[in-house]
C-alpha cells in the first residue's frame, strides 16, 4: 500500500465513522458500503464485497441506536479489507479461506474495540453539557466550539478503532504467518463451498437475534413451509 492509499483509507474511515453515529447517517457506515469503497480504493473490490456481505449479515441487527453500543462493524469492515490487501499476496492460493479467517478475526477485535466508542460517547456527553452552559450564558461561540469538538472526538474514535483492528490483526497474522498456509489448507472452504457460507452466516445471525421461545423449531418450520409453498406454486 502506498501513501495515497493510506490517506484515502483514513478519509474513508473518518467519514464512515462520523456517518455511523455523529453525522448524516446516510448508510455509508454499513459494512457492505464502506468495505466496497475501501476495496475500490485498494484495488481489491471483489474480496472487499465478500467481506462486506458477511459482516453485514453478521451484524444486521446490531445497530448503534440510543444507548446501545454495538461492535464497530464499520471500522471492522475497513480494517478487514486493509488486512486482506496487506497479506493476500502471501496467501494467494488460499484467498477464499483467508477472507473468512480475516472476518472471524475482525469480529473478535471489533468487540474489544467498542471501548473507543464508549470513550467517545462519554466525552461527547461532557461536551454537550459544556455547550448547554454556553447557551445559558448566551455564548454562541462555546456552542460552536463544542459542536466541532464532538466531530473531532468521533473522528479520533473511528481512527483509533481502525488502528487497533489493523495493528492487532496484522500483528496476529504476522506471528502466525509461518503456520497460516497449513491452517488454511485444511480450512473447509474451497471454491464451491464458499457459496454455502453466506446463507449459513445469515441464518446464524437470524437465530441469534430472535428473542422468542422455540426459536430453532419455528425457524426450521417456517423455512420448510416457505419451501413447500414455492414448490406448489
Residue 70 cell numbers, joined: 454495538
Residue with cell 444507548: 67
Q: Is 62 left (phi over 0), alpha (psi -120 to 50) or beta?
A: beta
CB within 8 Å of 7: residues ≥ 6 apart: none
Residue with cell 488460499: 94
Check residue 62 and give its pLDDT. 63
Nearest to 123 by CA among 214, 21, 48: 21
Q: Where are the domains of the chain?
A: 3-189, 191-233
Residue 213 cell numbers, joined: 421461545
CB within 8 Å of 124: residues ≥ 6 apart: 22, 150, 153, 154
Task: Convert the pLDDT of each residue in 82-132 to its tens digit.
Answer: 999 988 777 666 677 788 888 888 988 888 777 888 888 888 888 888 888
Q: Give 10-residue mean pLDDT values along the chain (233 residues).
A: 89 89 80 92 90 82 62 89 87 74 86 81 84 79 82 88 91 80 63 61 63 62 71 64
Check residue 103 and give its pLDDT. 87
Amino acid at each position: 500500500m502506498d501513501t495515497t492509499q493510506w490517506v484515502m483509507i483514513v478519509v474513508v474511515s473518518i467519514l464512515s465513522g462520523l456517518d455511523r453515529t455523529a453525522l448524516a447517517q446516510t448508510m455509508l457506515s454499513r459494512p457492505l458500503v464502506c468495505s466496497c469503497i475501501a476495496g475500490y480504493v485498494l484495488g481489491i473490490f471483489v474480496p472487499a464485497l465478500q467481506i462486506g456481505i458477511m459482516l453485514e449479515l453478521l451484524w444486521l441487527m446490531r445497530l448503534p441506536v440510543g444507548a446501545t453500543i454495538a461492535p464497530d462493524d464499520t471500522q471492522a469492515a475497513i480494517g478487514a479489507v486493509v488486512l486482506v490487501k496487506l497479506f493476500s499476496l502471501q496467501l494467494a492460493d488460499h484467498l477464499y479461506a483467508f477472507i473468512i479467517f480475516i472476518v472471524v478475526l475482525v469480529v473478535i477485535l471489533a468487540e474489544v474495540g467498542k471501548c473507543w466508542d464508549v470513550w467517545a460517547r462519554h466525552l461527547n456527553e461532557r461536551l454537550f453539557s459544556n455547550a448547554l452552559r454556553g447557551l445559558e450564558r448566551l455564548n454562541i461561540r462555546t456552542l460552536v466550539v463544542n459542536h466541532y469538538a464532538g466531530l473531532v472526538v468521533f473522528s479520533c474514535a473511528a481512527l483509533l478503532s481502525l488502528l487497533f483492528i489493523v495493528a492487532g490483526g496484522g500483528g496476529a497474522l504476522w506471528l502466525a504467518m509461518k503456520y497460516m498456509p497449513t491452517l488454511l489448507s485444511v480450512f473447509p472452504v474451497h471454491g464451491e463451498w464458499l457459496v454455502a457460507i453466506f446463507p449459513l452466516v445469515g441464518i446464524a445471525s437470524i437465530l441469534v437475534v430472535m428473542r422468542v421461545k422455540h426459536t430453532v423449531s419455528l425457524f426450521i418450520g417456517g423455512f420448510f413451509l416457505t419451501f413447500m409453498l414455492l414448490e406448489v406454486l
